[in-house]
Structure 1
């Protein structure tokens, strides 16, 4: 009897531990989901990307609108825009944060709750409308300086690492052809020498990750919004370049890359 009781007690205790662990996991998930969203948008301002082309402009405007709608929902959600060119990490063009705040609804009745929700929704939409106009203006801003001759995408990594330090849910968007093009013995110039196949792309990305591992980027959501039409040739839209970036982000943080 005693042995049976001990066994039952052990099983009950084990079950309680498991339930507590599950609850703790759910609580951790809940806390993580409450983290603000930190959106980084990198807009390619080099010669190789022409936002004046109808297809590119319409695609980019739609994706930027979706980003604003989906990522800027709560107080503290932040969006920063950087221009990709010769000096990417120093080229912050825009920084905005949601300030709208919902009034406390604990003691509110149904009518008051509806009024609070409506007031918050209106305030948030007003903010997002202002932000979106600023964002689309940055999209169409031209770069006619000499910095448009180089494309330093590596320089986005310290920016991502800094965002990662905030503890926010980091989402990164590259509006670019991703053709890294920087002069120097230890740099890549995909205009001059793009990877010829996936094997070379992987080899170069793994070698480069050793130089860039100082940047702790965490596990951001990374999306490449390419300027290429669906009918673009592989010579124009080189799939091995995309594979290079997929491998690099995988090496740096186990990060998957989505391409739009």
Structure 2
């Protein structure tokens, strides 16, 4: 991670995505050295000084006001998820936690195990904030074909998507699944972007797969909520599910439940 910190890195990544023409600016003659906005262009659009914005992006200004953040969000055309992420990173920059975040949860409460059992035959599993699969019913474990043979401490769904070769054909739209998994990983750790358990997973997967490395560098963020996912499953054949994600904030966990699509949708 650069010395600019998570807030500066996020701002720089989003600045690179906005073309001058997107915000009504002329591109000017000749080639631009960067694909997106220059710092001075973004500062002008947001109504802040070039020096102030530079210090913010470089990590030398750590207490931006909400008005400044909202102006930057508008200038950068941030999504609602991106805006929330920006606010979290700014809060961390101005008031860093005194200690590391609690370790990712690895054991679920007995009541959650009971819930998973009662959800059968709908596939369901529980992930912690770094996407370790800490519990699952038999159908949920079987959905990620082969992960059940992994040691429990290695059953991480992002690791599975990027390092388990059969995953590339298991998910009909593997690339969309991969992108969503990385965005979710970042979203779930917005409150602790430099926490060692997160960085250990990131370092492993950056070394293992160039696409993960590019996606992580893009700073995409998006908490998983609900969607439809199609599989070419070795045992189930071609199958599609709707899934819902239920968050348990007190436990730092989320439950994913898969159901058959409602006919007529």
Where on the TM-score scale, by shorter chain, does this alignment land: which range?
Answer: under 0.3
TM-score w.r.t. structure 2 length?
0.27
- Greater length-normalized contact order (CA 8 Å, ≥ 6 residues apart): 1
Task: Compare CA radii of gyration and give the structure with the larger one.
Answer: 1
TM-score w.r.t. structure 1 length?
0.27
